[in-house]
Chains A and B, each alone.
Chain A
Amino acid sequence: MGAGHAHRLYRHGHSAVHALPPHTKLAATFAFVVVVVSTPREAMWAFGLYAVLLGVVAFHARVPPGFLLKRLLIEVPFVAFAVLMPFVAEGERVDVLGVSLSVNGLWGAWNVLAKGTLGVASSVLLASTTELRELLLGLQRLRLPPLLVQIASFMIRYGDVITDEMRRMRIARESRGFEASGVKHWGVLAKSAGALFIRSYERGERVHLAMVSRGYAGSMPVIDEVTASRAQWSHALTLPFAALVVCVLGWTL
Chain B
Amino acid sequence: MHVPDGFINAPTSAVTGVVAAGAIAVSLRGARRELDERTAPLAGLVAAFIFAVQMLNFPVAAGTSGHLLGGALAAILVGPFTGVLCVSVVLLMQGILFADGGLTALGVNITNMAVVTTVVAYAAFRGLLKVLPRTPRSVTAASFVAALLSVPAAALAFTLMYAVGGTTDVAIGKVATAMVGVHVLIGVGEATITALTVGAVIAVRPDLVYGARGMRQKLQLRVNGELVDVPAAEEARTAPVAARTSRRTLWVTGLATSLVLAGFVSFYASSSPDGLEKVAADKGIDEKTEEHAVADSPLADYGVKDVTDARLSGGLAGVIGVGVTVVAGSTVFWAVRRRQNTDASPTTVENV
Tell me if chain B binds chain A.
yes
A186-218 at interface with B (beta carbon < 8 Å): 186-187, 189-198, 200-201, 203-205, 207-209, 211-213, 215-218
B53 within 8 A of A: yes
Interface residue count on the B side (C-beta < 8 Å): 91
C-alpha spacing A108/B4, complex, angstroms: 13
Contacts of B349 in A (CB 8 A): 209, 212
- Judging by beta carbons under 8 Å apart, are B104 and A193 in contact? no
C-alpha spacing A157/B5, complex, angstroms: 28
Contacts of B226 in A (CB 8 A): none
B256 within 8 A of A: no
Contacts of B99 in A (CB 8 A): 71, 74, 119-121, 123-124, 127
Contacts of B61 in A (CB 8 A): 182-183
Contacts of B171 in A (CB 8 A): 90
Contacts of A208 in B (CB 8 A): 38, 41-42
Chain A's interface size range is 35 or more
How many Å from the CB of A134 to the closest CB on chain B? Answer: 12
- Judging by beta carbons under 8 Å apart, are A112 and B4 in contact? yes
- Judging by beta carbons under 8 Å apart, are B293 and A80 in contact? yes
B141 within 8 A of A: no
- Judging by beta carbons under 8 Å apart, are B45 and A201 in contact? yes
Could you say which of B7, B10, B97, B292 contacts A116, with CB atoms under 8 Å apart?
A: B7
Contacts of B5 in A (CB 8 A): 33, 36-37, 115-116, 118-120
Contacts of A2 in B (CB 8 A): none
B47 within 8 A of A: yes
Stretch binding the partner chain, chosen from B198-206, B312-320, B325-333:
B198-206
Contacts of B167 in A (CB 8 A): 41, 108, 111-112
- Judging by beta carbons under 8 Å apart, are A181 and B55 in contact? no
C-alpha spacing A104/B166, complex, angstroms: 12
B193 within 8 A of A: yes
> Contacts A186-B192, A193-B200; is A204 near B95 (CB within 8 Å)?
no
B94-109 at interface with A (beta carbon < 8 Å): 95-100, 102-104
C-alpha spacing A119/B96, complex, angstroms: 10
- Judging by beta carbons under 8 Å apart, are B90 and A155 in contact? yes
A88-115 at interface with B (beta carbon < 8 Å): 88-91, 104-105, 107-109, 111-112, 114-115
- Judging by beta carbons under 8 Å apart, are A186 and B193 in contact? yes
B299 within 8 A of A: yes
- Judging by beta carbons under 8 Å apart, are A154 and B97 in contact? no
B28 within 8 A of A: yes
Contacts of A154 in B (CB 8 A): 40-41, 43-45, 47-48
Main DSSP-derived SS at the A contact region = helix
Could you say which of A9, A29, A118, A155 contacts B89, with CB atoms under 8 Å apart?
A: A155
Stretch binding the partner chain, chosen from A58-66, A144-152, A223-231, A232-240:
A144-152
> Contacts A114-B6, A151-B40, A163-B55; is A212 near B47 (CB within 8 Å)?
no
- Judging by beta carbons under 8 Å apart, are A194 and B68 in contact? no
B196 within 8 A of A: yes
- Judging by beta carbons under 8 Å apart, are B92 and A211 in contact? no
Could you say which of A74, A108, A200, A201 contacts B289, with CB atoms under 8 Å apart?
A: A74
B352 within 8 A of A: yes
A141-174 at interface with B (beta carbon < 8 Å): 145, 147-148, 150-159, 161-163, 165-166
Contacts of A209 in B (CB 8 A): 349
Q: Which residue of B lies closest to A204 (CB)?
A: B45
- Judging by beta carbons under 8 Å apart, are B193 and A193 in contact? yes
Contacts of B352 in A (CB 8 A): 212-213, 215, 217
Q: Which residue of A lies closest to B78 (CB)?
A: A201
How many Å from the CB of B204 to the closest CB on chain A? Answer: 6
A15 within 8 A of B: no
- Judging by beta carbons under 8 Å apart, are B298 and A204 in contact? no
C-alpha spacing A80/B276, complex, angstroms: 8
- Judging by beta carbons under 8 Å apart, are B168 and A147 in contact? no
B263-310 at interface with A (beta carbon < 8 Å): 276, 279-280, 283-284, 287, 289-290, 292-293, 296-299, 301
Interface residues of B (CB under 8 A from A): 4-7, 9-10, 13, 24-25, 28, 31-32, 37-49, 51-53, 55-61, 68, 77-78, 85-86, 88-90, 92-93, 95-100, 102-104, 167-171, 174, 192-193, 196-201, 203-205, 208, 247, 276, 279-280, 283-284, 287, 289-290, 292-293, 296-299, 301, 349, 351-352
Interface residues of A (CB under 8 A from B): 9, 26, 29-30, 33-34, 36-38, 41, 71, 73-78, 80-81, 84-85, 88-91, 104-105, 107-109, 111-112, 114-116, 118-124, 126-127, 132, 135, 145, 147-148, 150-159, 161-163, 165-166, 180-183, 185-187, 189-198, 200-201, 203-205, 207-209, 211-213, 215-218, 220
